[in-house]
Amino acid sequence: MLRTIYFENGQVYMLDQRKLPWAEKYITCRTYRDVSNAISRMVIRGAPAIGIAAAMGIALGALKIRAKSKDAFFRELDRIGNVLKASRPTAVNLSWAVNRMLAKAAELKDRSLDEIREALVTESRSMLEEDIRINRRIGLSGAEVIEKGATVLTHCNAGALATGGYGTALGVIRAAFEAGNQLSVFADETRPFLQGSRLTAWELEQDRIPVTVITDNMAGTLMKQGRIQVAIVGADRIAANGDVANKVGTYSVAVLAKANHIPFYVAAPLSTIDLSLRTGDEIPIEERPAKEVATVFGKPIVPKDVPVRNIAFDVTPHELITGIITQYGIAKEPFEKHFREMFARSDEPV
Ligand code: MRU
């Protein structure tokens, strides 16, 4: 499996996810602005992956700051952090990662600038490694929710490409498969960016996990036919009450799962949980350029003057969620209580 992102020789390399599955090409980011643009333009996407990218963006920024004093260095680092945080609004992992990097720099404020710069590069690299370890733990926590030989529905891409590696929702699927469960997967195509058909199918095929792509509007009929036993998706931000923001269409999957008595799970690291927000109503939802919906491969598919909306995420109310799988087990209703217990047990910086 190709690496999603890595930091080498003072540069950040990202697999260009806009080009998959047709081409496996890396782009090079030389400045924090390159990283911010890559996040906004979806070269890299998925909540944990954009968090890692932002952390590496801070490291790149720190390497390039030409400040005369330490105060000026820290002011500039804060400004860079704000630019990176503004690259995309919904996934909380972005500001979580930037805040963690700024806290690391602050902790080392008495060291030389070169030492701080080096520590930031190391910290961003360890965030990537840590994310892979967390995903493996999420996988182990959740593997049991997939019955032997079951067919799993997933929406969007919450896999290796959306994280440091291994994935959250796909991490659960991978862990079950590695444990000998002969499961299979339906991947929602996920209009308009096609994360399901282009990315999830690409990843699962590489691991030889049986996958079939369906259009987003086919899930209901397959559930009704008894062809789907469980739905597992990722998350971009989870409010304290357990409401989950994820790729638009997730809410529809959850409603359909409820109507068809199918368990609906969300898999995410603790860094995706935002206890500062009481409910999902407070989560900022990104709206992207209309042309992503109005054109397919550059060709218009909507009459010229007809308005088009491109809402990128939706919120699934916690009542529709069977459980939220984290690296510390499966949180259930009352979600906030379980989240707080998990944070209290956490041995990673959160
Ligand atoms: O717009 P995207 O592709 O960044 O949206 C990604 C998702 O919605 C994922 O499901 C979510 O970030 C979880 S990734 C582990």
* pLDDT surpasses 60 at 183: yes
- Is the distance from the beta carbon of residue 17 to the nearest atom of ligand 1 less than 6 Å? no
For residue 350, the model assigns a pLDDT of 46
Peptide bond into 334 cis (omega under 30): yes
Q: How far is the CA of 312 from the centre of ligand 1 (A)?
A: 10
- Is 236 catalytic? The answer is yes
C-alpha angle with apex 56: 235 to 238, nearest 5 degrees? 15
For ligand 1, atom 8, name the residue with the nearest CA: 247
- 50, 193, 247: residue to mutate for ligand 1 pocket, most atoms within 8 A of CB: 247
> Which amino acid is present at 61?
G
Asked whether the beta carbons of 100 and 55 are under 8 A apart, the reply is: yes
Q: What percentage of the chain carries pLDDT values higher than 90?
A: 97
Q: Which atom of ligand 1 is nearest to the CA of 168?
A: 15
Mean pLDDT lowest for which of 64-68, 165-169, 320-324, 325-329? 64-68
For residue 347, the model assigns a pLDDT of 72
C-alpha angle with apex 194: 183 to 330, nearest 5 degrees? 45
- Is the distance from the beta carbon of residue 158 to the nearest atom of ligand 1 less than 6 Å? yes
Q: How confident is the model at residue 46 (pLDDT cuts 50, 70, 90)?
A: very high
Q: Which atom of ligand 1 is nearest to the CA of 233?
A: 10
Residue 23, phi-psi category: left (phi > 0), alpha (psi -120 to 50), beta (remainder): beta
- Is the distance from the beta carbon of residue 234 to the nearest atom of ligand 1 less than 6 Å? yes
What average pLDDT does the chain have?
A: 97
